[in-house]
Amino acid sequence: MKWFDKLKQGLEKTRALIKRSFSSISAEDLEELEIALLSADVGPKTTEKLLEEVRENWKLNPDEKLSVLLKNSITSLFPPSFDIINKFLQGKWIILVIGVNGSGKTTTIGKLGKLLKDRGKSVVFVAGDTFRAAAIEQLEIWGERINIPVVKHREGADPGAVAFDGLKSAKARNIDIVIVDTAGRLHTKYNLMEELKKVKRVIEREKEDYQLYTLLVIDATMGQNAINQARMFNEALKVDGIAVTKLDGTAKGGVVISIVSELKLPIVLVGVGEGIDDMQSFNSIEFVDALFWEMN
């Protein structure tokens, strides 16, 4: 299946919510559309912004389809897209992967590692989630599956020390990309967030000619709670970009729109399935086209 078809399929439930609201609606009364956008987890602030813009544009262009007006308004919220994989192909990178438990961090690492390896980059995984033996094992399984080495310590080891050794190993072998896993933690737990900051400080101190990129992994099924996660992780660690996972099978795909509109953080990767190739660089034009497929 082509990537755009996977994206369309992944956004099917979100698209159906919005599409249903277009029947029996007027420029004065957009209540059904408001309900649909909120149900899709676009969020109250972004929904209000979109409705105001759609209402004004519809009055100026009464013959235009509502779907076209809404599509244009949503498109305007996104900054110009860029291919994050192409970015990582330039020079050497350390990618620090963060997020709450169950967001799909380790799977994202595996899929991202494969994307980069397939483009000719040398990659190493660093098992910085030392709180769960299963996390180390899961990363090793991914490493074996796609032939990428894994730097690890024992369960319970200091994550900063693991990151240090991972970088040391990468420098010695002249590895292009170092992807660091971290323990999933609640964004509301101060001590755990402080430990993540420590890991980042170690990396910043030791990175030398590597560039550092902090990637936050967000589970799309979390809806508006994902906004709070992103906000607090960004305040603590300065997030560079977001990977959205589990977009398939949820009607909450609008969270992508809300994150970009409210937090001004770029979505750089999107996952729409369990398969090893079901994650790609995020493209806002493709996303909006898939969201409004066959509505124009």
Query: What values do phi and psi take at 259, rounded to 5?
Result: -60, -45
Fold of the domain spanning 3-77: Four Helix Bundle (Hemerythrin (Met), subunit A) (1.20.120)
Phi and psi at 80, nearest 5°, equal: -55, 135
Domain span(s) for CATH 3.40.50.300 in the chain: 84-282
Hey, what are 192's tokens?
Answer: 């755990």
Q: What is the C-alpha R_g of the chain?
A: 20
Each residue of 128-178: pLDDT tens digit? 988 877 888 999 999 999 999 999 988 778 999 999 999 999 999 999 999
Asked if the model's pLDDT at residue 186 lies above 80, the reply is no
How much is the pLDDT for 223?
A: 83
The predicted pLDDT at position 118 comes to 95
- Asked if pLDDT for residue 123 goes beyond 90, the answer is yes
93-119 tens-digit pLDDT: 999 999 988 888 999 999 999 999 999
Tokens in use for 104?
Answer: 């799909």
The Cα 123–Cα 177 span in angstroms is: 5
Taking residues 261-282, report their average pLDDT.
Answer: 90
What SS3 class is residue 274? coil
Return the residue matching tokens 């994206």.
7
Alpha-carbon gap, residue 268 to 157, rounded angstroms: 31
Q: Is the distance from CB of 113 to CB of 148 less than 8 angstroms?
A: yes
- 195-202: long-range contacts, CB 8 A cutoff, minimum separation 24: 195/159, 196/98, 196/236, 196/237, 197/236, 197/237, 198/159, 198/160, 199/96, 199/128, 199/159, 199/160, 199/163, 200/96, 200/237, 201/160, 202/160, 202/163, 202/164
CA–CA separation, 159 and 149 (whole Å): 18
Domain with CATH 1.20.120 in the chain: 3-77
> Which residues does 264 contact at the CB level (< 8 Å), separation at least 6?
none
β-strands 267-271, 279-281 pairing:
antiparallel
Say what the pTM is.
0.93
Query: Would you say residue 74 has pLDDT above 90?
Result: yes
Residue 86 pLDDT greater than 70, yes or no:
yes
Give the Cβ contact number of residue 68 at 10 Å. 15
Q: Which of 96, 124, 130 is nearest to 199 (CA)?
A: 96
Higher-pLDDT residue of 99 and 17 is: 99
Residue 165's identity, in one-letter code, is: D
Architecture, CATH, for domain 84-282: 3-Layer(aba) Sandwich (3.40)
Gap between the Cα atoms of 280 and 272, Å rounded: 9
The mean per-residue pLDDT over the stretch 6-23 comes to 84
> Poorest-confidence range of 26-40, 108-122, 206-220?
26-40
Query: Taking all residues of the chain, what is their mean pLDDT, rounded to a whole number?
Result: 89
pLDDT at 65: 87
Do the beta carbons of residue 108 and residue 272 sit within 8 Å? no
Alpha helices in the chain (DSSP H): 3-10, 12-20, 31-39, 44-60, 66-77, 84-88, 105-118, 133-146, 159-173, 190-206, 224-237, 255-263, 284-291
Structure tokens at 271: 């996952």
